[in-house]
Chain A
Amino acid sequence: MNEDRFPGHKFLPYLLIAPSIVVIFIFLIGPFGQSIYESFFVSTPFGTRTIYVGLRNYIRLFSSPDYLNSVTATFKFAAFVIIIGLSISLAIAQLLNQKIRGVGFYQVALIWTYAISPTIAGVIWASMFAPATGLIPYIVSKLSGGYTLNWMTNGQLALFIVALAATWKMLGYNIIFFLAGLQNVPNEFLEAAQIDGASPWKAFWRITFPMLSPTTSFLLFVNMLYAFFQVFGLIDIMTRGGPGNATELLVYKLYRDGFIHLNTGFASAQSFVIFFVISVVAIIQLRIVTQKTIYYR
């Protein structure tokens, strides 16, 4: 802290940051501590009786095939949303960065998916795939001569469709950032490469992609948080974790156990596990990303 900026007021800086510290303690650290504490207990919904059970909630969790399924589903889902989602977004952003007629229209058309609320997006996708009335099962049935595409009884299909919807929903956000990143790549570099005889493909991988890396690393992080935490609304509207727990991602399972089944101890244990998993993934990602990211200027 630079003393000269607050001459004679030694404690003023502390006082000024106090409100945010207080907010963090009240809304983040306090509840977090409490949920760790509660993960060692089971209690009645109304809290009339609480029993200490030690590590039983954790043992239950790891010995439950449903939970392990949920972990696998979450990682599959996240991998799809992050890898496929970012690749498609980058490709689209690259196309939108060309000088073509009506590019403004295409930009808006591709970006506005982000402005749709998860509820609406969920309803759109769910009705598109509705087994008896949806457009896509209808087309599939006509083309294949009677095959019933029913994602309400096909777990892998349901997970795929939910991941597709989640990717589509995030597309606009990713495209905006990639587009901004692409527009910051100095044209001189690309022109110089062109003069030196580099193919557009090579120029992209050697110049554009490395120069985009700050954007890419930011988006990697945001998309990971999105895939792990923010897809809740979409799942709740589309599948509610079904069929047969196939789309019950970690954060959704936590919600159901804690807020619908009113089993707070079990849900608290899950929240600690998610915290742990996310921290590890985040640390690894930050390590790799900060090493590989190239910041120009």
Chain B
Amino acid sequence: MKLRKNFLIILVLTLCLLLSVGTALAKPVTITFWHAMSGSRLGVLESIIESFNATHPDYEVTPLFTGTYAETLTKYVAAYPSKTGPNIVQVYEVGTQTMIDSDAITPVYQIPGMLGETWDWAQYVIPITNYYSVDGNLWSMPFNSSTAMLYYNKDLFEKAGLDPNKPPTTWKEMEEYGEKFLASGVVDHVYSTGWPDWIFEQALAIHDHLYADNDNGRSGLAKKVVFNDDFGHMIFDTWTRLHNKGIYIFGGTEYDANSAFISGQIAMFIQSTSSLAGIIKASKFEVGTSFYPRFEGYPVGNAIIGGGSLWVTKGQSEEELRGVWEFLKYLGQKDIAIQWHKGTGYFPVSGAALKTLLDEGWFSEDQAYLTAFLQILSGKRDTAASTGVRLGPFVAMREDLVSGLEKALAGVLSPKDALNEAAEKMNLKLKDYLELHGK
């Protein structure tokens, strides 16, 4: 017994000592930052943080990799009640409404005012800030944004007797090219996609078609989804038909199909622009990029963005908040934004960075990087449908859509029934969310 008591006392003393040492050493204000960046992105992020810490001796940003986007959000939610969460957290775009409704964060647009500063938000790229804005005010700091585009293998185009400088621009052409490819025998399957749920959202947005009511959930909480109409059914029909012909091969929900494109098993690939740097580096053929294919004769909208943004936890001391703000401003600086873009393929968030990249000839050197910009900057920006979707239970709803598509492709349900079933499940989730969050 005595031994155990002594042991306990020693344990407590050690803990006290450790804690006091910790506080004594913590001269610069520590800013904790939870993120979900892995792979080559992690190295770029870490070097940016290192240079911030070196140039800002008053603050010390300590990054922590907390798993995937979903895991990071789960950890943040779990840490919130005990106030053990970070100062800054990176959340993926589907978690946006959850964060807005969380009552756990300080909207970014309020921070300069709280610190007695003014800030010009117009210096950031508008279609990106729009996505994260409520009533024109920015709630989270855009950080890693991307959009979806068409990648194609120029070498395979030549082998199949197609013009490598004429990628398909419509879904009808996708089908025609697909049939030519299959007839030529160059590939067994012609195209695949990453993120089918997000690719579906893109298909709606670039035709200025709403996903959910209440302006895609942007003017108020959405009550139901509205994509299960003729247009939505046509998208599902087209994809299922292409799949049944062997042109489209379903390639998983995230980045599984990248390897199929890189190894030349498929000729075309619709994927996030953030895969560009990786694909160019890994593939032995000439990579072409183009806009996301359209359905002819439908209205023009805009490609929407995806990726992550940075949220600031509520209730920080003024010192901490100042550090957070310095860090957020630092990330938006021209050189840093350029470093981030070149290292990863994500958009540089500031307009100044974009101009510098243009001036130094970055885009003419490699046009593939330009496609993404032209795409988001060339469409409409003033409609809710082209700005993007914001829904509370979005993570779960996207899974319903993917399983609907999987059922249609597997032939378990007709494309129409599969989409309707998915919509029904999603509507129930919206109803539950409204019940909990409605005023």
Contacts and interface: CB of A to CB of B under 8 A. Distances in A.
A256 B399 contact: yes
Contacts of A256: 399
A293 interface: no
A146 B253 contact: no
B260 A133 contact: yes
Interface in A103-155: 126, 130-133, 141, 146, 148, 150, 152-155
B77 A262 contact: yes
Interface in A146-189: 146, 148, 150, 152-155
A152 B252 CA distance: 6
The range of chain B's interface size is: 35 or more
Nearest to A256: B399
Interface string B396-433: 10010011101101101000000000000000000010
Interface string B245-263: 0100111110011011001
A262 B98 contact: yes
Contacts of B218: none
Given A153-B243, A153-B410, A148 B249 contact: yes
A259 B409 contact: no
A51 B435 contact: yes
Interface in A230-250: 240, 242-245
A57 to B, nearest CB: 11
Interface residues of A, number: 34
Nearest to B70: A260
A131 B410 contact: no
Given A44-B437, A132-B189, A260 B406 contact: no
A249 B74 CA distance: 21
A125 B223 CA distance: 41
A263 interface: yes
Contact of B263 (A45, A126, A133, A259): A133
Interface string A32-56: 0000000000111111110100000
B265 A132 contact: yes
Contacts of B402: 242
A150 B80 CA distance: 42
A150 B77 contact: no
A261 interface: yes
A141 B81 contact: no
Contacts of A155: 406, 410, 412
Interface stretch (B100-108, B170-178, B322-330): B100-108
Contacts of B73: 262
Contacts of A130: 256, 259-260
B256 A242 contact: no
A132 B260 contact: yes
A104 B436 CA distance: 62
Contacts of B74: 259-260, 262
A256 B393 CA distance: 13
Given A148-B189, A244-B406, A131 B102 contact: no
B73 to A, nearest CB: 8
B228 interface: no
Interface in B70-125: 70-71, 73-74, 77, 80-81, 98, 101-104
Nearest to A44: B436
B266 interface: yes
Contacts of B437: 44, 49
Nearest to A56: B432
Given A46-B103, A46-B104, A131-B250, A260 B395 contact: yes
Contacts of B393: 261, 263
A257 B74 CA distance: 12
B101 A44 contact: yes
A12 to B, nearest CB: 10
Contact of A132 (B103, B251, B435): B251
Contact of B265 (A43, A48, A133, A244): A133
Contact of A243 (B77, B249, B260, B403): B403
B192 interface: yes
Nearest to A141: B188
Interface in B205-242: none
Nearest to B411: A153
B162 to A, nearest CB: 20
B252 A46 contact: no
Nearest to A258: B74
| Interface hub of A131, A132, A155, A263 (most chain B Cβ within 10 A) | A132
A43 B403 CA distance: 25
A272 B263 CA distance: 46
A243 B411 CA distance: 12
* Nearest 3 CB-CB pairings of A with B: A132-B260, A243-B406, A261-B396
22 contacts: A42-B432, A44-B102, A46-B102, A48-B103, A126-B256, A130-B256, A132-B188, A132-B192, A132-B249, A132-B259, A141-B188, A152-B252, A152-B406, A242-B402, A242-B403, A243-B250, A243-B407, A256-B399, A260-B396, A261-B395, A261-B396, A262-B74
